Amino acid sequence: MAESFKSSIAFLRTANSAPTPTIYEAKDKMGLGISPPLSPPQSDTKSIDYKPSADNIVPTNKEIKVNWEGGYTFAPIKEWQVSRAMTKRYGDDLYRTAVSDVVIIGAGSAGLTCAYALAKERPDLKITICEAGVAPGGGAWLGGQLMSAMVVRKPAHEILAEVGVPFEDEGDYVVVRHAALFTSTILSKVLQFPNVKLYNATAVEDLITRADPSSPTGVRVAGVVSNWTLVTLAHGLQSCMDPQTITAPLVCSFAGHDGPFGAFSVKRLVATGMVEKLGNMRALNMNSAEDYIVNNTREVVPGLITGGMELSELDGANRMGATFGGMLGSGYKAAKEAIKFLDAHQIVDGEVVGRKETA
């Protein structure tokens, strides 16, 4: 029965081969006058006089041409070559990043800025980014309320200049003509660093912890548990489907304000008893919010640095609204804190084994 299909598309694809009338035939007998859609065309080969022709047989030795008058031809390829090209590299990435130096949660404006500053300063580090969305960038593709321009208060405009994003100087602040210009620029630069790997459509659904007698709670964060976002959503934020893990001595979390995946790390810290409670983000106050977020971006528990709007949820700081200087500055500050952390600890196979002795 059609009702047994979860997808009406699946039913329609099999309707023509069924002994019973199609859905269109049944409705037509009821006098509804419904006809099959013109597109896509029927794929029932019994109703089509299909014969392979020279036009749809691809020669294996065809000449590669760039000809915009109807003669453009690609190099030959086999379908399995495409599959292997993707799966081999993805598998190699999973193998290589299973032990990372830093994991960044969230590829929004703060997370991408952190990744950029960290990768540029320390090309020796293995940096892995997990982004739950298919499109990295978070809310930084638009400036605010579906408007294009991005406002950045000084002195965070220096980060724009460093990355190479043009802006209009308005005195105390600058304006990027389209937020997507910033996001696409910094994203392209981050992805070109050979020591950075971005997993988009990949949600962090838990944190890895290790015993740490020096910590007030006796534990430290030691990596993340990740899964494809669709799997996580289908089975709850902590899915029963086997996840992957990434071991790292340091996690930098920029999961944003509260939401389905928002403020994930700090909420998990409360749930596990590593933090007593959340301060909950206060109402909007641009003048106080941005200074606070940059200045207080820090290691909130051993092994976990938090910044951006997620820090607002933890500390009860004000919301900053559609001004992005605090996000950029928080990401940059997190990178500096990460370097201090890594330089101060002894690390073996991605795990902290002690602090380095100072001279």
| Binding-site residues from annotation for substrate | 110, 131-132, 139, 204, 242, 257, 309, 319-321
Q: Which of 188, 164, 117, 128 is nearest to 332 (CA)?
A: 117
Number of H helices, E strands in the chain: 11, 16
Q: What contacts 322, CB < 8 A, 6 or more positions away?
A: 143, 144, 145, 147, 151
Spatial separation of the C-alpha atoms in residues 305 and 322, rounded to whole Å: 24
Q: Where is the binding site, in residues?
A: 110, 131-132, 139, 204, 242, 257, 309, 319-321
Q: Are 125 and 153 a contacting pair, CB within 8 Å? A: no
**DSSP 8-state assignment for residue 125:** S
Give all strands of the β-sheet with 168-169 in edge-to-edge order.
150-153, 173-176, 168-169
d(CA 232, CA 239): 5
Give the separation between CA 75 and CA 73, rounded to whole angstroms: 7
The amino acid at residue 86 is M
Q: Which residues contact 258 (CB under 8 A, 6 or more apart)?
A: 267, 281, 313
Q: Cα separation of 61 and 75, whole Å?
A: 9
Q: Nearest 5°: phi and psi at 238? A: -120, 95
> In 3D, which of 314, 293, 352, 343 has the Cα closest to residue 109?
293
Tokens of 177: 């003509």
